[in-house]
């Protein structure tokens, strides 16, 4: 009798496990369907796309849409592809991510290990700044960039994204350092270590997981930004997403869906690469305390 009960329990657990994994698989396939359509469309010729079967694999695989999207597609009045705008975005994203990460780490360090009167108010105001809608700051930010003489430049976009990213990076590092043993900091102070010595030699080497979280979060948000790019630098120095929008809304009269999809895939590759390479570290960093407190 006991064996029958045990077998029925095992069968029940197996049934629910199969049901859960099947459901997750169905949702994953549904979620990935647009990516599949984009990918196969980018390898089709325009004549094949006009046949209307967007789910079918290409009859003849071609890389011509990718080459055209990169080097000769028309964006506005210029037919030089998206490669210039791709490098514009790289030049914007890398310094913005580095600066916002370093400043956030320093802020988190100060707010947890070198507390001062009113530190909770400072942290609260920075946290409040994370949730201010982008649209509200467009006019004051444009005035600031104009007064500094960097409106319409990559440096201006770097400043904008650092300003908006520093609140989130401070939140991540502050919550991470909150759980860091204060005794180690006090011991280092007794041994004569200074402010930056403690930061560079003790805290920063132990901050790998939260650095990965912050870099991935900032990289994804800055790379995919359209509003700030379109508002503050829509010319030749425009970032990738602005160029992609102008490519899709081409005024040439011919909708080259294969080229559009190839350009969209090129724009998505850096963020996909970052998540594939560092995705497990991202989850590990979250578990280590980045959303704690």
The pTM (predicted TM-score) of the whole model is 0.83
State residue 87's pLDDT score.
Answer: 93
At 250 the pLDDT is 64
272: number of Cβ within 10 Å: 12
54 Cβ neighbours under 8 A, 6+ residues apart: 37, 40, 41
- The dihedral of CA 274, 279, 284, 287: what is its sign? positive
Helix (H, G, I), strand (E, B) or coil at 19: helix
- Segments of the chain scoring below 50 in pLDDT: 5, 290-293
- The answer to whether 215 and 271 have CB atoms below 8 angstroms apart is no
Q: How far apart are CA 17 and CA 95, in angstroms?
A: 46
Rounded CA gap, 290 and 215, in Å? 12
Rounded-to-integer distance, Cα 8 and Cα 275, Å: 41
pLDDT for 55: 84
The DSSP string of 7-20 is HHHHHHHHHHHHHH
Kindly calculate the radius of gyration of the chain based on its CA atoms and give it in whole angstroms.
25
Per-residue pLDDT at 159: 93
d(CA 192, CA 216): 35
Three-state SS sequence of 23-83: HHHHHHHHHHHHHHHHHHHHCCCHHHHCCCCCCCCCCCCCCHHHHHHHHCCCECCECCCCH
Instruction: Please choose, from the candidates 269, 261, 250, the residue with its C-alpha nearest in 3D space to the C-alpha of residue 65.
Output: 261
Helix (H, G, I), strand (E, B) or coil at 78: strand
> What are φ and ψ of residue 157, in 5° steps?
-65, -35
Which domains are present in the chain?
2-71 (no CATH), 83-290 (1.10.3720.10)
Number of helices followed by number of strands (H, E) in the chain: 13, 0
What is the per-residue pLDDT for 248? 75
Beta bridge partners of 75: 78
Q: What is the pLDDT of residue 263?
A: 92
Alpha-carbon distance of 20 to 38, in angstroms, equals: 28
Residues 6+ apart with CB under 8 A from 208: 281, 285
């Amino acid at each position: 009798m006991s064996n029958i009960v045990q077998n029925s329990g095992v069968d029940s657990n197996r049934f629910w496990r199969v049901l859960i994994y099947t459901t997750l698989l169905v949702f994953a396939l549904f979620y990935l369907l647009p990516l599949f359509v984009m990918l196969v469309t980018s390898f089709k010729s325009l004549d094949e796309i006009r046949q209307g079967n967007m789910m079918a694999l290409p009859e003849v695989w071609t890389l011509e849409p990718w080459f055209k999207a990169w080097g000769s597609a028309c964006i506005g009045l210029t037919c030089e592809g998206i490669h210039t705008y791709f490098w514009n975005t790289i030049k914007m994203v890398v310094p913005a991510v580095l600066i916002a990460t370093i400043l956030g780490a320093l802020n988190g360090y100060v707010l947890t290990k070198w507390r001062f009167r009113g530190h909770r108010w400072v942290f609260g105001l920075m946290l409040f700044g994370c949730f201010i809608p982008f649209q509200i700051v467009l006019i004051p930010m444009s005035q600031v960039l104009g007064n500094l003489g960097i409106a319409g430049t990559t440096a201006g976009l770097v400043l904008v994204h650092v300003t908006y990213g520093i609140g989130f990076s401070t939140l991540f590092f502050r919550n991470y350092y909150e759980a860091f043993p204060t005794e180690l900091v006090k011991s280092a102070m007794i041994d004569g270590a200074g402010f930056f010595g403690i930061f560079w030699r003790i805290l920063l080497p132990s901050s790998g997981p939260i650095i990965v979280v912050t870099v991935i979060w900032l990289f994804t948000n800055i790379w995919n930004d359209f509003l700030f790019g379109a508002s503050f630098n829509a010319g030749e120095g425009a970032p990738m997403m602005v160029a992609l929008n102008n490519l899709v809304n081409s005024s040439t009269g011919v909708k080259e869906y294969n080229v559009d999809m190839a350009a969209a895939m090129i724009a998505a590759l850096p963020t996909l690469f970052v998540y594939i390479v560092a995705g497990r570290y991202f989850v590990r960093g979250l578990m280590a305390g980045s959303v704690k407190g």
